[in-house]
């Protein structure tokens, strides 16, 4: 069985809602597409992703596809090195500037863009290129604030579940396929089921379903490789991957614990295999309908669904055909014109209007500001449920149950900042401020040093200062309280009020300073509730106090001495954290030096050396020798 090949669309279009054009019959209303001579010029400040060529090269390909998609609509100039915004604009005279933010890998190099206040007439937007739950969310918002960017586009359809509501101008620029790669190759259907992807708690649906399938059908299982694995070069990718999908009857994919629409949701049907997945709000928003253009199933009914279709090849072919048509009609590069739409709308927008997007795959449109807002579609991710229960119990002072919920969330993936902060608040309320300080210190260090942001999350910073006070380190808390002077938040106001009892000088608030956004705002108290949350009388255990008093002063003193030395030396080496033990100051200096080295000519050879050593350690003989060395 094979599918008749469609010609890829070569220009953007506006498609009717899928409900109004039934499966297999996509209808397109032509939209004006910019000609080559009249495309707006876009300067794209993209991270340097070339180091991925040494590891999972498909990650590099994904970033290149973003540029390829933008070129459908813009005359694109890519800048992927440290630069001066004013000089770039002087040279290229762009109509629009797009900044990549929030990428969540230490392989790629985050670029520094200086002088972004120049050329204020050039509209700026950010592209949030990371998972919706990523540890880089705070860094992305800090970048946007630092560079004067008020508009963001996310590659995730679930972004509104994970970012603060105060970030009004946040739109979806969802995943897509390259129709020249993911298409019908006319391959014989020789593979009953193709299984790809990691078996990790982050993918709970996959963990439930894959064992059921492998015990019931002959399956082609593609071994998962990590993004930093030297063996990732062996993974199926590009046309080889698409042809293998085309030779498969079924291919399942999981939208993670966030219930996202990932690339595989589009690649599988786009290449002519029948998509099998979990039915979620975002998958349905993409136009997928059970037994019309895909299969929605779980471990309890997946065999019944697949058995019925294998017994009815004609029906399976119709469903597969409809899924293919849906993706090629609505989810290719040609249908991702949202950034162009925003550019055009903001140029023509009247003062009393605003730009909205009614759905993660919808076009952007201008509406009157007084119009009632349509709430964002929520995906209902598993982690969001655990967090809601955890914080509700925390505010009710049911600390054991709250901690259980936060632990369940972190069992899905250990990087979720809201759950880590929740555990820190539990520690603070149960008399273990040292643990709270360590947890929040790690959160702050990840944002300001590992990612490189100017500011940490204001709530994490407030909880850290509160933990220092509970440890009896009031003087240190006062001394570093203004390390990030641009942060303003009710949680910080509550902490500063408590420290003011010990003669903290009033904080200087510049005119026009607005409240800082926090990824924790959705779960934590109203502005009046912070003082009560920090007002804990739980005693600090004597043992914990002794440990803090015995080990911290020496490391803090050494860190302060090093910080003083770096303050009169090269600023680029000085990490953006106070010289406190919880921030791992010496390690932070090392990370700064490593970042500088990675961008130097030695970066590539050193990366190759690390990769080769990592590969050697996995070889049986060397691994045995390392385990049994004397």
CA nearest 85: which of 55, 47, 124?
A: 124
What pLDDT is stored for residue 601 in this prediction?
67
CA nearest 145: which of 618, 397, 484, 395?
A: 484
Residue 418 maps to a domain: no
Distance spanning both ends of the chain, measured CA to CA: 60
Tokens of 414: 């250990």
Please give the backbone phi and psi of residue 163, each rounded to the nearest 5 degrees, phi first. Answer: -115, 155
- Say whether pLDDT at 612 is over 70: no
Residues 555 and 443 in one domain: yes
Domain boundary among 331, 347, 376: 331
Tokens of 43: 């300067």
Strand order of the β-sheet with 248-252 is 219-221, 191-195, 248-252, 274-277, 295-296
What pLDDT is stored for residue 498 in this prediction?
87
- Say whether pLDDT at 289 is over 70: yes
Mean pLDDT, to the nearest integer, of 147-163?
97
Question: How is residue 73 annotated by DSSP?
Answer: T
Give yes or no for a contact between 204 and 33, defined as CB atoms under 8 angstroms apart. no
Residues 308 and 357 in one domain: no
Residues 545 and 565 in one domain: yes
What pLDDT is stored for residue 25 in this prediction?
36
Mean pLDDT, to the nearest integer, of 392-402?
96
Mean pLDDT, to the nearest integer, of 160-175?
93
C-alpha angle 576-579-584 in degrees, rounded to nearest 5: 80
Q: How many CA atoms lie within 13 A of 505 on its CB side?
A: 6
Mean pLDDT, to the nearest integer, of 290-316?
98
In the chain, the percentage of residues whose pLDDT exceeds 70 is: 79
d(CA 130, CA 145): 18
Q: How many CA atoms lie within 13 A of 492 on its CB side?
A: 24
Q: What is the dihedral of CA 525, 530, 531, 536, to 10 degrees?
A: 80
Residues 327 and 339 in one domain: no
pTM of the model: 0.85
Least confident of 45-59, 194-208, 530-544: 530-544
What pLDDT is stored for residue 19 in this prediction?
35
- Say whether pLDDT at 265 is over 70: yes
Length of the chain: 630
d(CA 43, CA 61): 19
Query: Hey, is 434 helix, strand or coil?
Result: helix
Residue 403 maps to a domain: no
Mean pLDDT, to the nearest integer, of 411-422?
98
Residue 400 maps to a domain: no
Residues 208 and 264 in one domain: yes
- Say whether pLDDT at 197 is over 60: yes
Contacts of 299 (CB under 8 A, 6+ apart): 208, 209, 212
Please give the backbone phi and psi of residue 470, each rounded to the nearest 5 degrees, phi first. Answer: -65, -25
Give yes or no for a contact between 182 and 333, defined as CB atoms under 8 angstroms apart. no
d(CA 491, CA 527): 7
What pLDDT is stored for residue 33 in this prediction?
59
Give yes or no for a contact between 163 and 519, defined as CB atoms under 8 angstroms apart. yes
Least confident of 129-133, 524-528, 585-589: 585-589
Three-state SS sequence of 570-598: CHHHCCCCCCCHHHCHHHHHHHHHHHHHH
Query: Hey, is 357 helix, strand or coil?
Result: strand
Strands 124-128 and 83-84, bridge-based pairing: unpaired
pLDDT band at 11 (very low <50, low <70, confident <90, very high): very low
CB-CB neighbours of 13 under 10 Å: 18
- Say whether pLDDT at 24 is over 70: no
- Say whether pLDDT at 428 is over 70: yes
d(CA 11, CA 172): 20
What pLDDT is stored for residue 556 in this prediction?
58
Residues 574 and 613 in one domain: no
What pLDDT is stored for residue 549 in this prediction?
40
Residues 529 and 454 in one domain: yes
Residues 431 and 558 in one domain: yes
Mean pLDDT, to the nearest integer, of 243-266?
98
- Say whether pLDDT at 508 is over 70: no
Residues 267 and 363 in one domain: no
pLDDT digits (tens, 9 = 90+) for 36-86: 668 999 999 999 999 887 777 888 899 999 999 999 999 999 999 999 999
- Which sign, positive or negative, has the C-alpha torsion 84, 86, 88, 94? positive
Tokens of 197: 């992807």
Residue 611 maps to a domain: yes
Query: Hey, is 268 helix, strand or coil?
Result: helix
Residues 480 and 498 in one domain: yes
What pLDDT is stored for residue 268 in this prediction?
99
- Say whether pLDDT at 623 is over 70: no
Give yes or no for a contact between 174 and 330, defined as CB atoms under 8 angstroms apart. no
CA distances from 563 to 59, 297, 400, 403, 579 (A): 37, 56, 39, 36, 6
pLDDT band at 527 (very low <50, low <70, confident <90, very high): confident
Q: Name the residue with higher pLDDT: 349 or 13.
A: 349
Residue 95 maps to a domain: yes
pLDDT band at 112 (very low <50, low <70, confident <90, very high): very high
Q: How many CA atoms lie within 13 A of 136 on its CB side?
A: 21
d(CA 415, CA 65): 27
What pLDDT is stored for residue 483 in this prediction?
92
Averaged pLDDT score across all residues of the chain? 85
Question: How is residue 332 annotated by DSSP?
Answer: B
What pLDDT is stored for residue 503 in this prediction?
35
What pLDDT is stored for residue 507 in this prediction?
47
Residue 534 maps to a domain: yes
Least confident of 8-22, 285-299, 478-492, 568-582: 8-22
Listed in sequence order, the DSSP H helices in 78-136 are: 85-92
What pLDDT is stored for residue 27 in this prediction?
36
Domain containing residue 214: 191-331
pLDDT band at 608 (very low <50, low <70, confident <90, very high): low
What pLDDT is stored for residue 369 in this prediction?
86
- Say whether pLDDT at 568 is over 60: no
Give yes or no for a contact between 130 and 140, defined as CB atoms under 8 angstroms apart. yes
CA nearest 518: which of 411, 443, 621?
A: 443
Strands 353-357 and 364-368, bridge-based pairing: antiparallel
CA nearest 467: which of 394, 540, 400?
A: 540
Domain boundary among 331, 360, 379: 331
What pLDDT is stored for residue 512 in this prediction?
52
Q: Name the residue with higher pLDDT: 98 or 555.
A: 98
CA distances from 385 to 114, 258, 379, 395 (A): 40, 10, 11, 16
Residues 267 and 122 in one domain: no
Residue 45 maps to a domain: yes
Q: Which stretch of DSSP H or E encloses residue 558?
A: helix 542-567
d(CA 425, CA 433): 9
Residue 21 maps to a domain: no
Q: How many domains does the chain fold into?
A: 4
Query: Hey, is 1 helix, strand or coil?
Result: coil
Mean pLDDT, to the nearest integer, of 574-594?
78
Mean pLDDT, to the nearest integer, of 477-493?
92
What pLDDT is stored for residue 341 in this prediction?
98
CA nearest 46: which of 92, 97, 120, 94?
A: 97
CA nearest 74: which of 438, 363, 263, 341?
A: 341
Q: Name the residue with higher pLDDT: 544 or 295.
A: 295
Residues 347 and 429 in one domain: no
Q: Cβ-count burial of 393 within 10 angstroms (0-12 exposed, 13-18 middle, 19+ buried)?
A: buried
Mean pLDDT comparison of 247-251, 467-471, 567-571, highest-scoring range: 247-251
Question: How is residue 111 annotated by DSSP?
Answer: P
Least confident of 9-13, 340-344, 586-590: 9-13
Q: Looking at residue 79, which CATH number applies to its domain?
A: 3.40.50
pLDDT band at 239 (very low <50, low <70, confident <90, very high): very high
In the chain, the percentage of residues whose pLDDT exceeds 90 is: 64
Give yes or no for a contact between 49 and 63, defined as CB atoms under 8 angstroms apart. yes
C-alpha angle 114-118-123 in degrees, rounded to nearest 5: 105
């Amino acid at each position: 069985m094979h599918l008749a090949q469609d010609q890829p669309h070569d220009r953007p279009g506006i498609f009717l809602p899928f409900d109004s054009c039934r499966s297999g019959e996509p209808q397109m209303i032509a939209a004006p597409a910019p000609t080559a001579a009249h495309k707006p010029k876009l300067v794209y400040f993209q991270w340097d992703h070339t180091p991925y060529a040494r590891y999972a090269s498909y990650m590099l390909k994904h970033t290149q596809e973003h540029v390829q998609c933008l070129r459908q609509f813009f005359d694109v100039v890519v800048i992927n090195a440290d630069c001066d915004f004013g000089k770039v604009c002087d040279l290229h005279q762009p109509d629009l500037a797009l900044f990549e933010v929030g990428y969540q890998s230490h392989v790629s190099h985050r670029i520094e863009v200086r002088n972004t206040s120049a050329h204020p007439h050039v509209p700026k937007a950010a592209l949030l290129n990371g998972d919706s739950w990523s540890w880089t969310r705070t860094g992305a918002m800090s970048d946007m604030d630092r560079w004067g960017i008020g508009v963001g586009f996310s590659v995730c359809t679930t972004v509104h579940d994970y970012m603060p509501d105060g970030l009004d101008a946040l739109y979806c620029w969802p995943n897509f396929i390259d129709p020249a790669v993911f298409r019908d190759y006319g391959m014989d259907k020789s593979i009953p089921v193709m299984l790809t992807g990691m078996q990790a708690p982050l993918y709970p649906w996959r963990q439930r379903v894959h064992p059921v399938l492998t015990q019931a059908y002959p399956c082609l299982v593609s071994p998962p490789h990590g993004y930093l694995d030297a063996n990732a070069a062996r993974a199926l990718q590009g046309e080889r991957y698409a042809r293998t999908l085309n030779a498969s009857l079924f291919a399942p994919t999981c939208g993670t614990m966030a219930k996202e629409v990932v690339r595989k949701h589009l690649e599988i049907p786009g290449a002519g295999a029948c998509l099998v997945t979990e039915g979620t709000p975002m998958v349905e928003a993409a136009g997928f309908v059970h037994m019309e253009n895909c299969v929605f199933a779980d471990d309890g009914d997946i065999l019944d669904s697949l058995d019925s279709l294998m017994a009815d090849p004609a029906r399976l072919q119709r469903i597969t055909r409809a899924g293919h048509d849906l993706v090629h009609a609505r989810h290719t590069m040609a249908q991702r014109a949202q950034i162009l739409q925003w550019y055009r709308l903001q140029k023509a927008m009247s003062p009393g209007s605003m730009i909205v997007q009614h759905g993660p795959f919808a076009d952007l449109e201008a509406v009157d500001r007084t119009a009632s807002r349509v709430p964002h579609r929520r995906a209902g991710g598993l982690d969001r449920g655990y967090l809601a229960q955890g914080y509700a119990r925390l505010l009710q002072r049911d600390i054991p149950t709250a901690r259980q919920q936060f632990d369940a969330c972190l069992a899905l993936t250990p990087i979720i900042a809201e759950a880590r902060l929740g555990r820190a608040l539990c520690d603070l309320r149960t008399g273990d401020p040292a643990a709270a300080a360590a947890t929040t210190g790690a959160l702050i260090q990840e944002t300001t040093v590992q990612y490189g942001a100017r500011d940490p999350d204001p709530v994490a910073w407030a909880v850290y200062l509160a933990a220092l006070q509970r440890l009896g380190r009031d003087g240190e808390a006062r001394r570093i309280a203004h390390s990030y002077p641009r942060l303003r938040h009710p949680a910080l106001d509550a902490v500063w009020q408590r420290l003011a009892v010990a003669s903290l000088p009033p904080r200087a608030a510049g005119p026009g300073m607005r409240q800082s956004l926090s990824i924790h705002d959705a779960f934590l108290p109203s502005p009046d509730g912070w003082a009560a949350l920090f007002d804990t009388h739980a005693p600090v255990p004597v043992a914990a106090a002794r440990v803090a008093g015995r080990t911290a002063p020496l490391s803090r003193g050494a860190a302060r001495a090093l910080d003083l030395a770096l303050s009169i030396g090269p600023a680029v080496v000085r990490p953006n954290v106070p010289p406190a033990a919880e921030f791992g100051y010496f390690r932070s200096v090392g990370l700064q030096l490593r970042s500088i080295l990675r961008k130097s000519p030695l970066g590539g050879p050193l990366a190759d050396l690390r990769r080769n050593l990592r590969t050697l350690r996995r070889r049986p003989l060397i691994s045995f020798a390392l385990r049994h060395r004397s």
